[in-house]
Amino acid sequence: MTALRQKAVNMLKELPEENLPEIIVVMTKYNDKNEEEKEKEKEKEKEKVWRALEERFLKNNKNFDDLMELCKNVPNDLDYKKELAESREERFGYEIIA
């Protein structure tokens, strides 16, 4: 037990019995106040976490939307070999014959 705590305990022991209810009321109010502050801190921490999750979700959602914009509908009768050959011709200036 620390010296300060020991001093407080000794003071309580020396107090008359009729003064103890007042001390108990003060201690209870102090403890309640501390509990309320702890609860407020917990709520602030939860709010921070939720904000961070929301920001991450919005960023991921935007990234997904950006990817979806890149998607194209491909016709069913697409000639892949022809497309590849045209792309090579366009890009490199020559056609590879397979």
Angle at Cα 9 formed by Cα 5 and Cα 12, nearest 5°? 140
pLDDT at 97: 62
Whether residue 6 lies inside any domain: the answer is no
- The confidence band for 93, taking pLDDT boundaries of 50, 70 and 90, is confident
Q: What is the mean pLDDT of residues 8-37?
A: 89
Q: What is the mean pLDDT of residues 62-82?
A: 89
Residue 85's domain comprises 18-92
Q: What is the mean pLDDT of residues 74-93?
A: 87
Percent of the chain's residues with pLDDT above 70: 95
pLDDT at 98: 55
Provide Rg for the chain, Cα atoms.
37
Whether residue 97 lies inside any domain: the answer is no
Indicate the average pLDDT of the chain: 89
Distance CA(22)–CA(39), nearest Å, equals 26
Please report which residue ranges of 1-98 form alpha helices under DSSP H.
3-14, 20-70, 80-92
Tally the domains of the chain.
1
Whether residue 63 lies inside any domain: the answer is yes
**What count of residues does the chain have?**
98
Whether residue 2 lies inside any domain: the answer is no
Whether residue 37 lies inside any domain: the answer is yes
pLDDT at 4: 92
